[in-house]
Amino acid sequence: MLPVLETGLGSFIGLTLCLFGLGAYLAGQGLAHGWRPAWQAAVTGFGLALFDRFLQWGLFDGVLLSVGGYLAAGAILASIALFAHRLTLSAKMVRQYPWAYEAAGPLAWREKRAAATLGLDRRPEETSLARISQSQGGVKMNKIIAALVVVVALVGAYFYFGQKPAAPPAPATTEAAPPPAAPAAGDIVIAMGGPLTGEYAAFGEQMKRGAEQAVADINAAGGIGGRMLKIEVGDDACDPKQAVSVANDFANKGVVFVAGHFCSSSSIPASAVYAEHNILEITPASTNPKLTEDAAAKGWTNVFRTCGRDDLQGPTAARYIAKYFAGKKVAVLNDKSTYGAGLAEETRKALVGLGITPVLDEAYTQGDKDFSALVAKLKGEAVDVVYIGGYHTEAGLINRQARDAGLAAVLISGDALNTAEFWSITGAAGEGFLFTFAPDPRNLPTAKDVVAKFSAAGYDPEGYTLYTYAAVQVFAAAVAATGSTEEAKLAAYLRANAFDTVVGNLAFDAKGDVKGTGYVMYEWSNGAYKEKADQ
């Protein structure tokens, strides 16, 4: 076996040829630009080979001190560098001295006959002028641009492929909170964390409305044992990093309970901060199973949720598909977010369990606007049902562009579609879009009074509004019963008891998940959504 291939063809091509080969090419090019002699390119090639061997040893278990391997790699890299040097030099000679030289193939140049007779045939690298150009070493704008592009591309990719592309660098909002937010003696400080800016601001507003209404109602009824609730609002923009800073901000302000966050990718990192500071977290909206599973695995007791989990939600959608679209072609899409990818994966698993194998499994990027290529691909596969694990903005755009392109497939998604903003994106194209969500709490008798209050204020308590209200209620009930705001006592009480809330009677299991939640299918029609009659 060749010594360079000792660690396999893949690592040879990937590391030696692609990575170091490109490096050698660039080195040869750069040396030629500086009018350096060709032997330097060869030396560079053998120098690079040292690093190649080191990485082969470190990453792919190659032999560190292998003379044969080193020489072979060095020879390859040196020839690439020499090739690049020669290629660049010939192009440079012809381009810069068009009166004296002409190209003789890509790797050579020759004197022009007329020029030779004029005595202009000296090789310019031997002239003093060439040395001047070398010492000038002019910084080439092209190189700067190339470096800039790479930096911009990396930064762009970081934001673009990160959890939240459209996250504005907005500071944590501290509404109605003058800097020295020392709570009045006896006040209990609670908080609501969610996206108040960015693409998912509509959900943050639902949560804010719900939490504020609950606080107002509790305070109007005399507070908890005479102590008033005071609410802080934090904006995480659905960005994990910002969620952590919001969580730290809450901890500094002496918050004892947080109703939040919205995005699973925010709730999970924030829950670590809350666990560290012994703050109770009840999320009304984050459905990714990992949130409570991880907390339970790490022994944290502070994480609860008033909504269901994606490993319930996904199978609900899958069963619906199996029942009504048996034998049809199904595609599963996700937006690569914690919530979207998790939900799509649960749905896909459940579909496979029911004997339906999706014909297409694709991911798109949050914040994208043009999905025409993806839609054309769905059309090409002639899919009948598209399941989307993602948020309403992208799902809405996919819906709109699918109808424009003449794709008639039924679109199904998850609980992140329960906002009126979805219809403002799709317009009439959204007719018939299905999504899963818990049975609508607005219709429950327990919610009647609160819904009436919201309606009187000109607000429809859709989506997570009432779930956030319920989270605050649960906290208040626990404080009233235990007479304490200590996380350990509250958490123990929450696990042991059931609570009457606006969304019905809630009880939590050992992990902090609501017992006995279920999901049902909703349908968008004419600007509003309602539960489908036939499930």
Partner 1 sequence: MALEVAKFLDQLINGISLGAIYALIAIGYTMVYGIIGMINFAHGDIYMIGAFLSVIGILVLGLAGASWAPLGLLMVLVMAMAITGVYGWAVERLAYRPLRNSFRLAPLISAIGMSIFLQNFVQIAQGARNKAIPPIIQGKLTLMDLPGYSVSLSYVQILILVTTVALMAGFTYMIARTPLGRAQRACEQDRTMAALLGINVDRTIATTFVIGAALAAVAGMLITLRIGVIDFYIGFVAGVKAFTAAVLGGIGSLPGAVLGGLLIGLIEAFFSGYFSTAYKDVAAFVVLVLVLIFRPSGLLGRPEIEKV
**Residues near partner 1, by CB under 8 A:** 22, 25-26, 95-96, 124, 129-130, 132-133, 138, 140-143, 145-146, 148-150, 152-153, 156-157, 159-161, 165-166, 168, 170, 196-199, 201-202, 336, 362-365, 367, 369-370, 372-374, 376-377, 379-380, 382, 393, 396-397, 400-401, 404-406, 421, 424-425, 427
> In the bound complex, what is the minimum distance in angstroms from residue 87's beta carbon to partner 1?
10
User: Measured in whole angstroms, how far is the alpha carbon of residue 364 from the centre of its chain?
Assistant: 10
> In the bound complex, what is the minimum distance in angstroms from residue 234's beta carbon to partner 1?
15
Residue appearing with tokens 């809330």: 501
**CA atoms of 149 and 298, how far apart (whole Å):** 42
- Three-state DSSP state, 121: coil
CB closer to partner 1, 201 vs 229: 201
Tokens of 460: 């429809």
Tokens of 484: 């304490």
**CA atoms of 215 and 233, how far apart (whole Å):** 12
| C-alpha dist (Å) from residue 221 to 228, 258, 354, 509 | 10, 21, 50, 29
Q: 60-85 burial, b if ≥16 CB within 10 A, otherwise e? A: eebeeebeebbebbbebbbbbbbebb
CB closer to partner 1, 119 vs 226: 119
**CA atoms of 370 and 387, how far apart (whole Å):** 18
Rg (CA), the chain: 32
Alpha helices in 125-263 (DSSP H): 128-136, 141-161, 201-220, 240-252
Strand order in the sheet with 360-363: 360-363, 330-334, 385-389, 410-413, 434-437, 520-525, 528-531
Total Cβ atoms within 10 A of residue 6: 18
For 290-358, the DSSP string reads HHHHHHHHHT---EEESS--HHHHHHHHHHHHHHHSTT--EEEEE-SSHHHHHHHHHHHHHHHHTT---
CB closer to partner 1, 8 vs 168: 168
Strand order in the sheet with 257-260: 229-235, 188-194, 257-260, 280-283, 303-305
- Three-state DSSP state, 476: helix
> In the bound complex, what is the minimum distance in angstroms from residue 188's beta carbon to partner 1?
30
Residues 6+ apart with CB under 8 A from 410: 325, 384, 385, 386, 432, 434
> In the bound complex, what is the minimum distance in angstroms from residue 525's beta carbon to partner 1?
17
**CA atoms of 259 and 233, how far apart (whole Å):** 10
- Three-state DSSP state, 302: coil
**CA atoms of 252 and 26, how far apart (whole Å):** 51
**CA atoms of 463 and 206, how far apart (whole Å):** 7
> In the bound complex, what is the minimum distance in angstroms from residue 369's beta carbon to partner 1?
5
**CA atoms of 177 and 191, how far apart (whole Å):** 12
**CA atoms of 429 and 19, how far apart (whole Å):** 48
Q: DSSP letter at 18?
A: I
User: Measured in whole angstroms, how far is the alpha carbon of residue 451 from the centre of its chain?
Assistant: 34
Please name the amino acid found at residue 157: A
CB closer to partner 1, 423 vs 467: 423
Total Cβ atoms within 10 A of residue 41: 28
CB closer to partner 1, 8 vs 427: 427
